[in-house]
Amino acid sequence: MDKNWIKKLPIDQITDIKPISGGDVNDAYQVVTTKQRYFLLVQPNHPKSFYESEIAGLNAFKEAGIKAPRVIATGEINGDAFLLLNFLEKGSGSQRELGQLVAKLHKTASPNGQFGFDYPYSGSSINFDNSYTDSWIDLFVNRRLDKLAQVILEKGLWTEQDHTLYKKDREIIVATLEKHDSKPELIHGDLWGGNYMFLSDGSTALIDPAALYGDRELDIGVTTVFGGFSSDFYEAYQEAYPLAPGYQKRLEFYRLYYLMVHLNKFGTLYTNSVQNALETVINDQ
């Protein structure tokens, strides 16, 4: 990194800064000072508002008693947004504790009784409107699935035939969710295996939230896409906060959503996975 850029960070006595893995959205660094280490996220050529939603999510986690990174500072340097967090030391932990932690998160009800969040979701490839609404179908189907479907079509990542298949899926999803009692509860929003950590003290933390108050089955569906969650996780979650009957079918909706996110972001690598997910929703009705 540019030394002049580093000097503008609101911390003193920096002795080292080096790139580390931090997901596919941000540039990530470990910053070492004479007293402690920090985790630095940078989004080049974006205003500091880029991190407003993530900061709000981390603060919501803190209020809910969920261990997560602490916000140290945020701002903008030379046109680049940055977010400085405390550094979490990796260790080992329990999938059962992880299941209990996610259940605890999901028991946090929306303060206004509505679905949504105080800030929109801002990603590197798509943004979603999180304005509050009484309808989960409005938030999830109208604003997320439909937007993804249109963008994917416009990018040429699927054909009109694929789009027609999506419309059939959409009818099934809407009809099913109309019969389901979705509740607006605090969810992670991007709960894949890379977004939790077992820490050096054996505890568990959730990281990199795309938080909103939504149907908790979205989080559980996302956990099933890429693995990283054992049977102990699901057993502990169900013991702490059982899912309503028929959830296996509804989880397919959220697997489809998450794979569509990846098709939009990474391209044809996910074409077959999305096609299979579209067909699964129809075959499972």
Catalytic residues: 190
Q: Which residues contact 44 (CB under 8 A, 6 or more apart)?
A: 27, 79, 80
Contacts of 171 (CB under 8 A, 6+ apart): none
CA distance 253 to 135: 16
SS3 content of the chain, % helix, strand, coil (to 5): 45, 20, 35
Residue 215: Cβ within 10 Å count:
25
Torsion of CA 157, 161, 166, 168, to 10 degrees: 180
Q: Can you give 62-89 as a three-state secondary structure string?
A: HHCCCCCCCEEEEEEECCEEEEEEECCC
* The dihedral formed by the CA atoms of 39, 50, 70 and 68, expressed in degrees to the nearest 10: -90
